Amino acid sequence: MEVKPHISKSEIWSYLEEVIDPEIPVLNVVEMGIVRDVEYEGEQLIVKITPTYSGCPAMNAIEMEIHKKLREKGIESFKVLTDFKESWTTDWMTDHAKKKLKDYGIAPPEKTEESGDFLSSLKSSQKIVPCPYCDAMDTVLQSEFGSTACKSQYYCNECEQPFEHFKCI
């Protein structure tokens, strides 16, 4: 079937911004940095996505949602490809997205440091993650792994609330 040739790439990006991350429903897949590229190969639209975490179970759901959205917009000829060439990092999240995370009660990721020496960081004390509710610094790591692969579990000693932190990777 013929693609409408005039749907511009920026239009496609705006459609994709309507696709919500199923596990973090305040963010869309563009803000998350999951959609890497949109291009036409001849008549066919190619959307490249990359998984946040290798075993992220939401990837299938995200792919299906993208299919649904593009069809809903009348696009018939397209492919969604998973691309591993670049590895996803929380640095691809926009500042706006990080603010939305915080408002939602998830402590956003800081900028990743390419600390050359992971082994010595293994031995040093944990970093400080401010509480997303009361901004207190007196928080403690409870588990490196939270409800989803991308989050760890913290507790705020100030407001006595457990909260999740989006891991920096």
Binding mask 120-139 for other proteins (x = CB under 8 A): --x-----------------
Nearer to other proteins, 54 or 157 (CB): 54
CA 41 to CA 100: how far, in whole Å?
35
SS3 145: coil
Tell me the β-bridge partners of 79.
Answer: 46
Give the range of 17-25, 72-80, 103-111, 146-154 binding other proteins by CB under 8 A. Answer: 146-154
Binding mask 69-108 for other proteins (x = CB under 8 A): ---------------xxxxx--------------------
DSSP 20: B
SS3 141: strand
Sheet holding 35-41, edge to edge: 35-41, 44-49, 78-82
CA 63 to CA 65: how far, in whole Å?
5
Binding mask 34-73 for other proteins (x = CB under 8 A): -----------------x-xxxxx----------------
Minimal distance in Å, beta carbon 147 to other proteins?
7
Nearer to other proteins, 15 or 154 (CB): 154
Q: Which of 42, 45, 84 is nearest to 67 (CA)?
A: 45
Residues contributing to the site for other proteins (CB under 8 A): 51, 53-57, 84-88, 118-119, 122, 142-149, 153, 167, 169
